[in-house]
Amino acid sequence: GAVVSQHPSRVICKSGTSVKIECRSLDFQATTMFWYRQFPKQSLMLMATSNEGSKATYEQGVEKDKFLINHASLTLSTLTVTSAHPEDSSFYICSASLGNTIYFGEGSWLTVV
């Protein structure tokens, strides 16, 4: 149980375009999901907390107009990287909260060319 799935696992997009990443909790409902960014050989950096039915809470330094988060249902949160630039290339990971424990998706590699 407690499976979280991300899609796509890898995406390449052109600079200036937008790309959407989905995070789904497959076998449980999650009122809270989290989005992270991870650079090579570094830890996970929390970008935002996604709350079902309300606005996401962004961490300091994260542009909310660039990283749009929508949590429209108890099993789905989406992260849209708008007007992507090469510096947005990274590994993006989501997690979903079940009780006091969080479970991670497989991660999504974004490459902006």
Residues that bind another protein (CB under 8 A): 2, 4, 6, 32, 34, 41-46, 49, 57, 59-60, 91, 93, 95, 97, 100-107, 109
Nearer to another protein, 4 or 81 (CB): 4
Which DSSP helix (H) or strand (E) runs through 46? strand 44-51
- Within 8 A by CB and 6+ apart from 83, the residues are 16, 17, 18, 66
- Report whether 67 contacts 4 (CB < 8 A): no
Closest separation in Å from C-beta 16 to another protein: 26
Which CB, 47 or 112, lies closer to another protein?
47
61 or 86: whose CB is closer to another protein?
Answer: 61
